[in-house]
Each structure stands twice: as C-alpha cells, then as structure tokens.
Structure 1
Amino acid sequence: MANSSPLRRQSYHWASPQRLTLDDIFTEDRNSEARHRYLLETAKKENERVRQDAERVYREQLQKEERQRLLDERQQEEERIRLEEQLAADRVRLNALKAKKIAIPAPLPDPEPPAAPAVNGNTTPGTAASPAKDDAAPLAPEQTNGTTSQRPTTLPAGTSSGVLVPKQAQASAAAQNNGPEPAKAPTPAVGGAGSLVSNGPQTNGINSGPGTSRSAPAPAGQTQTRPDRYLEIFKSLKDLRRFMADQAKANPALKARMGDMRREIRKSVGQLTVAAGSNRPQQAGLVALLREALENRVQSQLMDPSHFVLEPRNPVEGALHNDSVLPSLFLYLLNILSKAAISQFISEGGARPETADPVGICLAATFSDPDFLWRGQAMIDILMAKFRVVCPVLFGYRGSEKTEQGRMRLGWWKDGGHWVPEQQHMDRMTGLGAGFAAVALRKFAASSKKNPYPPRHYWTAMARIVNTPPAEISDTQCVVLKSMVQNYEQKFIEFYGTAAIAALRTALVEFPARAPNKTAAVHSVEVLAQLLRRDSGLVLG
C-alpha cells in the first residue's frame, strides 16, 4: 500500500455528483456483494436523474412548440380578420357608389332646320340642313340582304337594357346622314390625276358617274341610297398608287426617292415597341419623311385631297394648308403609313394585342401634327378607309360566316383565291380590333394638338356591334368587340365615366347573353367580364 500514497493525493471529477477516490474503488471489499449492490444503486439513481432531466427538457420543448403554434394561429386569424375588414369596407364603399344616383338633365331640343330655298317651285335636295352637333343622335347601321339601313341608338340610362350611343359621340353620324350636300370637288391643278377625278353627278358629295356636275332631284316616292364613302376613298387610293407609278416612269428622281421613303416608313412602323420612350427615333423619322414630301422637294404633281376625306372641306381661317391641292407624294406616303400600320396590327396584334398601342400612339401623333392638316383637319380618313375594308364590323356591317356573301361582308380575307383558315381570320380581327381602340382612345387633353379621331368613334363602333339582332350575331363581331375592350377598358372609363361602365355591361354581359349559339368566341366575351371583375374589381353583371 506504500505505492498508493501518490495516487491518494490526486482527485478525479466524474460525471456523477458523487466524488470517489481510488481508495474508495480499490478497497478490499470491492468485489463483495454489498459493494456491487451499492454501485448498482448509485448507477440507478444517476440514470433516474438523467431520465428526469431529459423528460424536463422534452416537456419544455413541447411547451415551446405549442406556444409557437398558438402564435402562428393567432397571426393567421389576425390576418384573416384584417382582410375581411378590408373587404367589408370595400363592399360598403362599392354599395355606396352603386346607390348613388346623379340626375342627368334632358338635352335641349334641336333647333328647327332653316327652310330650303325654292327653285322653280321645287326644293333643291341637300341645300338646307342643320349643322352637326355633339348631341345629335348617331345611327347604327343594320343590314338586310346586303343593304344598309339606319336606325337610331340611345344611351343606356341607368338600366341594363339600354343601347350604346352617348350624346358626346353623336355628331359624326348626324353630319354624315343629315349634312348639306357639298359642292363638287375641284380637279387637280396638274394633269395626270384624272383617274381620281370624276366629273359625274354627285349624291351627298359623292361622284356617281359621268354627266352633269349636279345630280337631278330624286322623283317623288324614291329614296336615294348614300354610297359608302370609305370604299370610294379606298378606290381613290388605288388610283393614287397607279398615278404615282405613272409619275415615277417620267421622273427618275421621284422613283428612287419614293421607293426609299416607302421602305423607311415600313421599317419604322415595324420597329415600334411597347417599351416606354423607345419609339421617338421612329416617330421623328416618319415626321421628317412626310415633311419632305409636303415640301415637294422631288417635284411630285399636285392633286386634290378631297378625294381622300369623308366630308368636303372649306378653307379655314388660319389653317396652314388651305389650298385645293397638295403634293401627291405626301398623300401617297400617308397611304403607305396607313397600310403599314394595318399590316402591323394584323401580323403582331393578333398574337400580342398589346403591341397595337404604340402603333396607335404613332398614328395619332402623326395625323394630328399641325403641319399635316388640310384645311384645319387631319387626313385620317385614309387610315379609316383601310379599316373599313379589312374590318367592316367596326362600321356596322354583319353577315353569316357560313356563306360566301356573309364572309365578304365580315372582312374574311382570301389568300390565293381561297378563304384563310378560321383561326387566321380570328387572329386578324383580334389585331384590328385592338388597333382601332389604340387609335380611337387617345387622350389629347394635355396636348395642343387636335385629336384626329375622337373617342366618340369608338363608342359608335361598339354600338354598331352590340345593337346587332340576336339572330345575326357572329363570332367575328365577338372577337372584335373583345379585342376592342381588353386592355382599353380603363381608357374608355376615363373618357365616359359611369356611362362607359353601363356600356361595358351591355357589351360584355348582355350582348353575349343574347347570342343564340354559345360558341367559343361568345364565351370569350363573357370571360372578359369575369376577368375585369377579378383583376380590376369592375363588377358588370
């Protein structure tokens, strides 16, 4: 035991709370039964202590997790209550807006038109008519067997059964249907444009054939049918193209420059994008080309612009261009610009309707440029004549997609003498509907320029579609109507307020509900109303 004295001076710290020494371990009775029972009892107590500590830690962890779960549930409930309170407040405000009624005073009666002067005891037709006013009722064309009849449309007055046409949108058709008969347009100052001039009689300012300069009064009991002026403009544009080709043969400088200008315009229109501020170079290039043509630097022949406008125009005091002629190259480039824009609407707008908006901005800015006005008004009728040909439903024409004549009236395109597939036709109509809205719903309130195509034309086009009798509703109309509204409903409401909401209810809820055949195109109009409700909170039905 002498050798154990150094070890006795050392102490060891064990995990057990009881401190043992070597003497305690290496005792003489270390192998005795009592010693074993003692060590087992000590280990048992230590195990019990460890188990109790583990159970305590486990209980504490369970309590922490339970507390966290309760906190999470409380936060979820608080968030739910907050959202429900917001929804309740929004519904209260919406119900208050719906319950609010504003009394709209009745319009003043139109003044009686002055009596027409008597000539040899008869009244000369078209010599007396009241001027067009902003509150004149426009007409929505109805077609029967290929002919166009006119019936008045009215503004919805707080009910869902009203038909579209606001008082702000009613001047155009009144002027077109009830206006005075204009004088015969003068012929171009320079020869060679005779193909655009008809010396025949006129009905409401439209040449109808060779003969005298004025049409004879219609016999009693007969009604004169007004020709489609837009189609006449379209034919005049074809004559203009041939006229420019004839000039190019005799003027090599004109031929070379005209070709370059045509390509530059098409390229600039094709480069327009939806990115903000990225279209200024293209817009500046188009304006520069048109100014060059208007200055007539390559000596194109002069011609009468009245062949390309919807209504005859008289000189306006202070107007920049009051002459009866303009350079033919300038008119030709306006035609090229319009054609390029229509092509862009068809090729890009069908798949991506949002691409129509920058083209519409470009067109509105170009046609409204004061340098390009003739007798104080824009030459945008050139563009609208092309819209009339490719998308007639915007102008009140309708027909059956199952017949040859109906497809022609709906603007169904032919490629190589055969009708294009239905999907291609619907894509064309989608792009054209969006393009029309992009042109007609431009805001000029903050601009010194005059709007070349005010939003009343958009309202009138919508009215012409939704006033269709149920039996004549077509898929083409539904596709055009949907593309006119989608992405442009907010601009429409900005112009017309609550009247626009009533109009949208008629167009997107009541119009498809009247369709006898619930096709995919009809259903897409109904779905648009649901999307507006989901995305912008606009409740229409």
Structure 2
Amino acid sequence: MNNVENEENSILTNNINIPTLENDFNYSLFSLNLEDFHGTLLSAAQAEHTKVRERALRLLELDRIRCEREALKEAADAAEERVRIESEKVREECRIREAEKKVREISKPTILPPLEPHVATSSTVESQPVQPTITFPSFPIKAASQDAALAQKPQPLVESKRDNITELATTKRPLVPSSVTVSTSTALPTIKPYQAGAKLVSNTKEQSIVTPQPTTFGSSTVATGKLDQVGRFSISQPSAPAKALNQSTAQRSKFHQQTQNFVNTTRYREIHAEMKRLRKLVESQVDPDANSMKLKNICSEGRREITKALGQLVVGGNNSTIVILKLREALKTNYQLISVSLFTVKNHEAVSGAPLTEDGVDMNSDKLPIIFIYLIGSLCKSICAQLVSEAAVKPLAATPIGILTAKIFSDPRLHWRGKSLIDVLISKIFIACPILFGVSGDDSTEEGRVRIGWRKINGRFISEQAHYDRMSGIAAGYAAISLRDFSRTKWTNPYPPVNYWFALSAVVSTPDRVNSPSRFVVLKSLVEHSFPRFIQFYGDMAIAALHAALVEFPKRGAESNPAVGTLKALGTTLLRDHGLRL
C-alpha cells in the first residue's frame, strides 16, 4: 500500500511543474486545499473571459469602422452622381439656350435703312380715281419684292401665296403708292379664312390694304401713305409705341368680341342642360309599367355597347359601324318621342321632298325617339371621357377618336333635316373646356375656375395637374374632330375646319387681363399635333396664324409660368423636327 502511494506521489512530483489546469486540479485535489483550488478555477475562467471579451470588442470596433467607411463611400458616390447629373442638366440647358439664340438670329429680319418717301406729282395723282380700301387683320405678310420696305418698324415676313391679296395690291395704279398698315398684334383674323377665289373683306368703316405695295421710280424706293378725300397723297408717319400698343389691344378685343358673336355659348349651355334633364328622366324610370322599364333597359344596354365600342378603338376596326347600327336601331323604336330642336343650336327647316331613310324613318319630323337622343348624348359623353383619359396622356390618341366621331356624325342616315346632331357633342366640349370658345377666367379665383371649366369632385376642385391634363385632352380632341378632310367623300363634314380657325382665334385674342395658364395649355394641345392638317387646309394663312399663336402670343404671358415656356419651346420644336420656320 505504501508502495502505491509513493509511486503516485512520485508521479505528482514529476508533473507538478507543468502549468496546466489539470495539474493544478490534481495538485489541489491531493493537497486537499479546496479554497485555493476554487480560487484557481475562478481566476482561470476570468482570464479566459477577459481574453474573449477583448477579442470581441476588437472585432466589433473593426466592423464599426468598416461600416462607417462604406457609408462614407456611398455618400461620396451619391454626391458625385448628383454633381454629374446637375452638370449634364446645366449643359443641356446651355445647349437649348444656344439653339434658341441661333434660331432668333436666323429668323431675325433684316432691317433696311429708311428710304426717303417719293411723293407723286399732282397731275399723276389727280388722274387716278379714289379707290375704296379694304381692311385685313394684322399678321406677318411677305413683301412683294426684295426692294419693298415699310415705313413703320420692320416686322418678320412670312412667304405667302394669297392670290386674291396680290391681285388687289397690284392693280394698275401707276405712280401711286398704296396704303400699308402693319401691326404686331397677336390677334388672329376672325373673318372667314382664306379659300380659293374668296376675298378677305371685313365690315369696318375705315378700311386700308394690309399688303405691302412696291413702287419703282428709276430706283428702288417705297412710299407709305394714303389718298385723302380730294385725291391728294399724304405720307403716313409711324405711330408712337404706346399708341401702337393701344391699337393692338383694341384689335384683340375686337377680334375676341367677333369670336364670341360667332359662338352661341348660351345655346350650348341650354343644350347641355336639356341632355342632363333627358338622362335623368330616362334613368329614373321606376314605374312598374312594362313600357317604362323596357325603355330604361334598352337605353342602358345601348349605352353600355357604345361605351364598350369607344373603349376598344383599334386601327381598321369596325367600332363606328357598331355605334351607327345601334343608333339606327334606336331610330326604329317608337316608345316615346321628343322634340329634336331642343338639342340643336338652330331650328332647321324641314327638307322639302325628302324621302324616308333606308330604315323607313322620317328624319323630317319635328320629333324623334327619345332612345335615339339619349344614345346620342351617351355617345358624346363617352367621346369626351375617352379624350380626357387617353388624349391627355398621349395627344396622338385623339386622332382615331376624331375619325370615329366624324364618321358617325357625317352619316346622312342619322341626320335630322339634312343636318347632323353634332351640336350635342360641341355643347359637351363647351362645358368641359370653355376656353376653346373664347371664355376666359382667372385660375386663382373660384369664380374664374368655374368659368373656364375647372372640374369639381365632391365639392372640391381637382388638382392643377389633373385640370391641365383634362384641358389638353379635350383640346387635342377638338382639333382632331374639326380638322377632318372630306374632299374625297360625298358626305358632308359635320364640323368643318373653319371651327378650328375660330377656336385658335378665340384663345389668342382673349384680353391680356385674363391671361391664365390654362389658355397656354389649351393652345399647345390645339396646335402640337394638328398643325400639318391646319397648314394643309389654309396654307400660308395657317402659317401666319401659327406665328401669332406660337411667337407673339407667348410674349404676353409671365416668364415664370411653365405653360408659357412650353408653348415657346413648341415653336423651336417645329423648326427643329419639321423645318417649319415661323
């Protein structure tokens, strides 16, 4: 037994110098000093814990530093990207300004030195009879030759092929310069636009020819003057700038008043009110009477089919055929009749000797089925809804809608007494966008917003952007409807291009005191995608009108108004993309 203990003690003695926890444990166990043994264990655990904790803190600090470095790097990258974008933006703005500057320099008219007016001899003047003169609205006109000059401040000249004006200006009156009157007014002529063989005459008491007339006397000289009542020729002096401004404002007011006289706004409001009353009458049919319920069901079904047809417009589709067939079916019903004159601007006289339509319907009668009128109103409402929802975002989408509208309303089988019922649609457009018809108002006041058709939902006005989108869609649709070419068809255009001319004139000629941003938005949509067809119909007269609308008219708006800047940029776009120099 002693030998075993001695052997164990020898082993312990040999290993006691090994600095391990196991040796400490064995030593403490055999030494039977439990307190020292426990303290040794605690010290070892504390040392290990401290070591692990310090290592963890170092790793945590490194991770924090790495995260801060990545955050700073991301912030620096974002700042550099922002600087790059801002720099590109500034460069693009500089490019635009340089392009506009070049356009202005190119389009700037050459200012000729003033020439001494040549006064004709009395014998020559007295031999000429006093010619009655004609007044034309003011717009840029090309001189008849390179030697022609105006006594007043030179204006940009536009090439013209107006044969009737040239004929009046070049009548044989030797040695007698004709009266020349040129104004920078932006008001468009509100007389009937130029057509082949037509004479532009306005019913005014004081008349003058608005065409430069060159006269040569051995050398290139041009005089500006007029004949008095006794045949003497007097040279007219340039008016003061203030006087010219007053005359320009007066002309715009006169043109605006003429446009207002052309459009029967009161009658359009009445037609719209009658359509609302009719719609409420049909939709409120709740009597158990079989005819009443059948009337309501037929109207509801027809309205749904028309709305579906207009909502699925495709190129080459038969949507218009579906709508026309539905309207023809409505004409054959005889549940209830209503006077058609309630829904037209003019009470058309019956066409004498007009036969029944191929459907056996008498379209000369004073009354037509109420279902037909109801579906016409539903069609007009769907057209306006499509224009607001589609043409506002993509103005080119107004073209198929305009084609469908023109095709439906030009169908003679749907004409009442030889005239279409497009007055119902125009009344709806008038309520939605009165600016097209010369109505003006202040966007910043509630009364002005109501006047210009700013829509309300639940008693509150819609947002500004929603209002502008709505105006843009309606204006683009109005242009698509009115600028349709019927020269290759035997059908009659239900809404000829002259209405587009008057709408353009109404917007441009509105007095400056009510220059609201909505007018510039409407004018841009009215012109942006419709100017080629406008020029196709009216040629150089259309170019003169576009000059007034896109060059002169924006000068009357506030520079800080984004709508004004957009309208100015449209003129530059037409020059860059289409080569149209205004």
The bucket for the TM-score relative to the shorter chain is 0.5 to 0.7
**Alpha carbons 2:268, 2:430 under 8 Å: kept:** yes
Change beyond 3 A, Cα 1:106–1:537: closer
Matched, 1:295 2:305: no
Q: Within 5 A, what are the aligned runs for 1:67-216?
A: 102-105=162-165, 161=185, 163-165=187-189, 167-168=191-192
Q: CA deviation at 1:517?
A: 4.7
1:237 counterpart residue number? 275
Distance in 2 (CA, whole Å) between partners of 1:361 and 1:435 is: 10
CA-atom RMSD in angstroms: 2.8
**Residues 349 and 431, structure 1, Cα contact 8 Å, conserved in 2:** yes
| Alignment of structure 1 residues 107-506 onto 2, 5 Å | 161=185, 163-165=187-189, 167-168=191-192, 228-246=266-284, 249=287, 250=289, 251=291, 252-273=293-314, 276-277=315-316, 279-280=317-318, 282-296=319-333, 299-319=334-354, 321-506=363-548
Distance in 1, Cα, partners of 2:265 & 2:541 = 32
> 1 CA distance for matches of 2:286 and 2:412?
29
CA-CA distance at 1:158 after TM superposition: 8.1
Amino acid at match of 2:343: F
CA deviation after TM superposition for structure 1 residue 469, in Å: 2.1
AA of the residue aligned to 2:396: E
Deviation sequence 1:282-337 (CA, Å, 0-9, x none) = 111101100000111xx330110000001121112354511101111001000000
Q: Distance in 1 between matches of 2:158 and 2:300?
A: 58
* 332 and 293 in structure 1: CA distance in 2 versus 1, 3 angstrom threshold: same
Q: Secondary structure at the match of 2:164?
A: coil
Using the alignment, how far apart are the partners of 2:278 and 2:459 within structure 1? 25
Change (3 A) 1:380 1:107: farther
Q: 1:395 to 1:227 in 2, by over 3 A?
A: closer
Aligned residues: 341
Once the two structures are TM-superposed, the CA of residue 357 in structure 1 deviates from its matched residue by 1.1
How far does residue 254 in structure 1 lie from its aligned partner after superposition?
2.5
Partners in 1 of 2:426 and 2:403 — Cα distance? 15
- What letter corresponds to residue 260 of structure 1 in structure 2? E
- Match runs of 1:499-538 below 5 Å: 499-538=541-580
Q: Which amino acid aligns with 1:241?
A: R
CA distance in 1 between partners of 2:379 and 2:193 (Å)? 27
Letter in 1 for 2:440: R
Cα distance change, pair 318–458 in 1 and its aligned pair in 2 (3 A): farther
Mind listing any 5+ residue stretches in structure 1 that lack a counterpart? 1-87, 89-93, 109-156, 172-225
Q: Measure, in 2, the Cα distance between the counterparts of 1:265 and 1:438.
A: 20
Quote the Cα distance in structure 1 between the aligned partners of 2:311 and 2:163.
48
Compared CA separation, residues 366 and 98, structure 1 to 2 (3 A): same
Find the aligned partners of 1:98 and 1:346 in 2 and give their Cα distance: 36
TM-score by length of 2: 0.55
User: Once the two structures are superposed, what CA deviation does each residue of 1:143-168 show, in whole Å capped at 9, x if it has no partner?
Assistant: xxxxxxxxxxxxxx986536223543
Distance 2:419 2:349 in 1: 10
Structure 2: unaligned runs, 5 residues or longer: 1-105, 107-141, 147-156, 169-180, 196-263, 358-362
Alignment partners' CA distance in 1, 2:186 and 2:517:
22
The separation in 2 between residues aligned to 1:394 and 1:480, in whole angstroms, is 8
Q: Deviation per CA, 1:110-156, whole angstroms, max 9, x where unpaired?
A: xxxxxxxxxxxxxxxxxxxxxxxxxxxxxxxxxxxxxxxxxxxxxxx
